[in-house]
Amino acid sequence: MERLLEGLNAQQREAVTWSGGSALVLAGAGSGKTRVLTSRMAWLMQTGQVEAEAVLAVTFTNKAAREMVTRLGALARGNAREWWVGTFHGLCHRFLRLHYREAGLPAQFQILDMTDQQSVIRRVLKSLHVEDDQLSLRQAQQAINRYKEQGLRAAVVERHSAVHRLIQEVYEVYERQCQTDGTVDFAELLLRCVELWQRSGALRDHYQARFKAILIDEFQDTNALQYRWLKLLRGPHAEVFAVGDDDQSIYSFRGAEVANMRHFERDFAVQKVIRLEQNYRSTGTILDAANALINHNTQRFGKTLWSDSERGRPIRLFAADNDESEARFVVGDMVSHQAEGARLSEMVVLYRSNAQSRVLEQALVAQKVPYRVYGGLRFYDRQEVRHALAYLRLVVAPDDDQAFLRVVNFPPRGIGARSLELLQQAAQEAGNSLSRSAAGMTLAGKAGQGLRQFLETLAYLRTEVESGRALADVTRTLLERSGLLDYYRQDKGGEERIANLEELISAVYSFVEQQSSDLVTFLAHASLEGGELEAHDGVDSIQMMTVHAAKGLEFERVWIVGMEDGLFPHDNALGEPRGLEEERRLAYVALTRARQHLTLSHARARVLHGQLRYGKPSRFLEEIPEALCLKLGMEQGDRRNESYHATSSLSRSPWRVGQRVRHAKFGEGTVLAFEGDGAEGRLQVNFRDFGIKWLALAFAKLTGL
């Protein structure tokens, strides 16, 4: 039995061997919560407190469930197939397979993935003659899933507007269609299970009597329906062991309710809150910074991460002149670490919004550094960006049929499959492009009106380009007149897509400033940039991702960019206490991804929506004690002053950021940053022909220009 407890610290051991009823375990970042969960399950089984079939464990991802089963298999005897370990959806599926009759399902019911669900909803919309401009497929799908996650059936949803009445009708027909087809979507699995237990007291009593120990991972991420599920499943004699971290609750936009942790403490009569505070991941300096930051949140249980490992090096703060110099610094820094023997795959750059990746990708391409965008696409491959680029391609190349087909009915303007079929047939017979055939074709009704509007928009944009109007302004006009921005504004998840479209304006602005005002040249640049450097599996490469995507991961070296008010914390959270607290939790998650090296950066100026804007350093930077930090590069100066002065610990250096220099071997370059002091210091220089390099001042042999 001691083997199970071997290597556990005092708090982990207390959690594993707890015997005083339901418990809430506050597991800080890097505190070994998965080991505690699996050890707890094995302890309960091996001590004979419960049989294996009386234990149920819930995780949030299939990957976590597989890891738990693997670890448990190494600790406990028994058949893994008998263990009830899985995600909420996976366990509900298992329940419903066993009780399909009681649930009103056929024996061989099938699960709809998101794409399958869209196909069914599309059929429903067509059967009800619902046009895209009345209710889009995306809107209908999001509404149905949202209602289900709230535990609401079609018969009881809100009907206080024409749109809501239409959604209710679509939802109702969709429910009937799924029942006829014998299918269930993901949200239905959980809702059907909850309804079954509410309806069948005997079945509920059976499982309440069966499961004596229920363990829940990532409890801070549970939503209202999942919490109802847990309350129904837990019997009067069952112990619930909930593991979570209120300081890492960052998914409210998905319906997660951090308040469930407080409700749990009350509803389950929790006698003990156990805190896992020893961190096995990060240095003491990084943990002190994370603790200082999160302590500014008032609505939290409270805990303090600590480590008995080394203090580690200071957290580096880099203040850049603009977003492009920030990106050059980060990429140059990564290349320097690689030159010292570090693997690129152990380096990650984190950002608050996907739209921030573009400038970084540009810098990586310039330095020929392979990279991977984790959990997403490179900037110019994102759906909404490709839509906008298709419009721009049609402005300069009206005969581009591929671009035409991509956007002629996007955003939806009533041009259905039959109308497109007629148009393609006419183009083929005349030997014309689709665009030329469309100009001379008359379609009836809504399709005809939509096609005319589409062609008028392209003609207007073509006139704007020919008149010499700035390309950034043309792009902004395109996004408005095409309806792309309005379309994504109505989309529940459209905020990120709108940010990417606005970043496209910035991309055009920067391209014109640095290279060319020719639209054809920009479109070629967009097609070519980065594609060959998007790393394949097995290739050592820089990792790039949003902070949300980084949760649960860890890296040796972490760079967090865009630390400015309005970016991180996000604009939407400023002035809104609950939102600001979640943004701070997100920053806490970002800091605690780093094991050894952590760099935070911000820019004095950044191109946003095609306009140069001056930013203020993130308030989160001010909440990190200065004693833990090493400042690099430029300090925030007076925004009204065009000169941007530099200060750092390299106080006796003759060099300044932005200064032009010459090196005997590398030629001319520009100073980007410096660190250290005197002869022990080093400079980061961007050389025109050799890229970015760090040079030790003692051997640099630089001359100023």
Catalytic residue among 358, 593, 595, 619: 593
Q: Vertex 409, ends 408 and 412: CA angle to 5°?
A: 150
Active site residue 303: no
The CA distance from 605 to 428, in Å, is: 51
Active site residue 34: yes
Give which of 145, 157, 88 is closest to 118, Cα–Cα: 145
Question: Would you tell me how many other CB atoms lie within 10 Å of the CB of residue 86?
Answer: 21
Catalytic residue among 13, 14, 17, 34: 34
Active site residue 495: no
The CA distance from 518 to 512, in Å, is: 8
Question: Would you tell me how many other CB atoms lie within 10 Å of the CB of residue 45?
Answer: 22
Catalytic residue among 218, 221, 464, 502: 218
Catalytic residue among 11, 33, 328, 604: 33
| Helical residues (DSSP H) of 440-538, grouped into ranges | 445-466, 471-481, 484-489, 495-514, 519-528
HSE-up (13 A, CA, CB side) for residue 161:
5
Active site residue 333: no
Give which of 186, 111, 187 is closest to 151, Cα–Cα: 187
The CA distance from 100 to 287, in Å, is: 49
Catalytic residue among 87, 248, 356, 362: 248
Instruction: Write phi, then psi, for 317 (nearest 5 degrees).
Output: -115, 120
Rounded alpha-carbon distances, angstroms, from residue 407 to 98, 387, 498: 47, 6, 17
Which residues, in sequence order, are CB contacts of 151 under 8 Å at separation 6+? Answer: 191, 194, 224, 225, 228
The letter for the amino acid at 258 is: V
Active site residue 217: yes
DSSP string of 30-87? TS-HHHHHHHHHHHHHHTTSS-GGGEEEEESSHHHHHHHHHHHHHHS-S-GGGSEEEE
The CA distance from 655 to 703, in Å, is: 10
HSE-up (13 A, CA, CB side) for residue 270:
18
Active site residue 593: yes
- The residues carrying an active-site annotation are 33-34, 217-218, 248, 593
